A and B are shown apart, each in its own frame.
Chain A
């Protein structure tokens, strides 16, 4: 089945005012979200990010402003119909405990009247998509699943009727850090396949950097402090509020945005456990490096061998050298790579392919150089953007001063 791709979302002067409170909870938000991008709304608690999100599917009715999805004004259509076209995933999954996994996923397709056979196929397809074995999980109840699995089913349910837009309200807030990391990776993978328009709310800036194509940093009353790519926000925060929110270690966080495959992976002398001992001796002597990497029978990194290690171990490969404790894949972030380099006492980490086979190494020097290059490039880009912005602003001010008063303001 062909999946429908994302639709653009436009928020125009979106406002929420609760009766009895002096200032609005969400004040005049304007935002254009392009089709197929992940936009993260991030900000401190109580800044109105969740309220803004819930106004998009009108779980909270806006008191003013317009919402357009895919060009269609949805501000006044039947909210029930609107919500069936907009996927919604929330914290702690929101699965209905009295229904099986399959029943939960089948809900929205059932509501919009898909035939039974198609729903059944779709449920299997969705389970497969979020990495759960349909045969095993089909008939389970939510309480028989782990937190991470529940969250996957929650995403499957949100995507079941193939909505162009997916709203996610701190979906990974309630799971442990390791599972959260997995789920984030899964979401990135899913998005590569599906190209939905995703609006994602979180208070975790690291999560925002990892997932977002663009990030909107919100301050109180949902005022947009900065709406830009993660790179731009890290290297060129718009003001003190944003830089405060980005927190210390922006350069370190920048490492999260680059993958090992984007930097130069260097060759390194290797030997295989299948090689005769004499060859291994010769290779160590002629390598010009302190260690060489010993690969196991399937070409996976196994041990670091230093000069003399073999001598001390009396020629036994099983006892010589130090085991490789950590490797990274080409999809790992530079931050993971740095972590691995720092913990490994050889000062480098082996990069592996899909089946764990050796493809090269990354060392401290490569990392340092790449990071410097990255930061420099970001800085230049940011300067350019700032320059353009100032020019635009200057032109606008000029127009406002020249033109008849009040006309420029829509």
Chain B
């Protein structure tokens, strides 16, 4: 069976896997963004807290993904929970780091001006600091998403959802006639999804970065 015939035969299964893959990454990204930006907001004003948050999240990233999922299975079981936890944790680093860098990079004279005209601390954050730090944060989210696209494939190891299933099935039956097609379709599927997400982020950037600070 050629690759194209394989795609024709299995497109139903492939689309379902792709959809689940994208959906898992998207949901984990939402979680990682919320947690990551929150961590950034809480820690950016203190040197050591900011460094601690960055170091902690980058330590997580050094754990091999297979090992991480393997370690999570005995604790939370198979399927969706280890996938979501692992992906969210991996997604944190770029977001936390860029949030801290972005928030620290806001011109101090603007923060001074915001204070000086009578903005309270939450207001300053919501109306001045976060909007100005948004472009780097968005970049962090984008990098995170690309990374999670690949890591999400490992989720299949814990019977998680997504295109990883194709790849693992192929790897398990290496030598059989469809093995190569399975691995290839899974991998290409992930690449296509990653490109689509990236395009979506360009659009999100256009819509959410105020015109006054767009580069």
**Chain A interface residues (CB < 8 Å from chain B):** 57, 59, 80-85, 88, 90-92, 94-100, 107-108, 111, 141-143, 157-158, 167
* A–B Cβ pairs within 8 angstroms, 21 of them: A57-B116, A59-B116, A80-B119, A80-B120, A83-B117, A83-B118, A88-B113, A90-B112, A90-B116, A94-B110, A94-B116, A95-B113, A96-B110, A98-B131, A98-B213, A107-B117, A107-B119, A111-B117, A111-B119, A143-B212, A157-B117
- Residue of A90, A91, A108, A143 touching B118 (CB-CB under 8 A): A108
In angstroms, Cα B120 to Cα A80, docked, is 6
- Residue of B114, B127, B211 touching A141 (CB-CB under 8 A): B211
Q: How far is the CB of B115 from chain A (nearest CB, A)?
A: 6
Q: Which of B63-108 contact A (CB under 8 A)?
A: none
Known contacts being A59-B115, A107-B117, is A92 close to B109, with CB within 8 Å? yes
- Contact across chains for B117 and A108 when beta carbons are under 8 A apart: yes
- Residue of B116, B120, B123, B132 touching A98 (CB-CB under 8 A): B132
Which of B128, B132, B212 lies at the interface centre, i.e. has the most chain A CB atoms within 10 A of its CB? B212
- Neighbouring A residues of B128 by C-beta, 8 Å: 96
Which of B110, B117, B127 lies at the interface centre, i.e. has the most chain A CB atoms within 10 A of its CB? B117
Q: How far is the CB of A173 from chain B (nearest CB, A)?
A: 12
Known contacts being A80-B118, A143-B212, A158-B117, is A94 close to B132, with CB within 8 Å? no
- Residue of B116, B131, B132, B211 touching A88 (CB-CB under 8 A): B116
**Chain B interface residues (CB < 8 Å from chain A):** 109-110, 112-120, 123, 127-128, 131-132, 210-213
- Neighbouring B residues of A142 by C-beta, 8 Å: 212
- Contact across chains for A90 and B131 when beta carbons are under 8 A apart: no
Residue in chain A with minimal CB distance to B211: A141
Q: How far is the CB of A118 from chain B (nearest CB, A)?
A: 18
Residue in chain B with minimal CB distance to A142: B212
Q: How far is the CB of A145 from chain B (nearest CB, A)?
A: 11
Q: How far is the CB of B130 from chain A (nearest CB, A)?
A: 10
- Contact across chains for A59 and B212 when beta carbons are under 8 A apart: no
Task: A59-B116, A143-B212 are known; give 6 further A-B pairs, CB within 8 A.
Answer: A83-B115, A94-B110, A95-B113, A97-B212, A97-B213, A167-B116
- Contact across chains for A88 and B117 when beta carbons are under 8 A apart: yes
Those 4 A-B pairs whose CB atoms lie nearest each other, nearest first: A94-B113, A141-B212, A84-B118, A88-B116
- Contact across chains for B115 and A90 when beta carbons are under 8 A apart: no
- Neighbouring A residues of B110 by C-beta, 8 Å: 94, 96-97
Residue in chain A with minimal CB distance to B115: A59
- Neighbouring B residues of A98 by C-beta, 8 Å: 131-132, 210, 212-213
- Neighbouring B residues of A88 by C-beta, 8 Å: 113, 116-117
- Neighbouring B residues of A81 by C-beta, 8 Å: 118
- Neighbouring A residues of B119 by C-beta, 8 Å: 80, 107, 111
- Residue of A82, A97, A141 touching B132 (CB-CB under 8 A): A97
In angstroms, Cα B116 to Cα A108, docked, is 10
- Contact across chains for B112 and A59 when beta carbons are under 8 A apart: yes
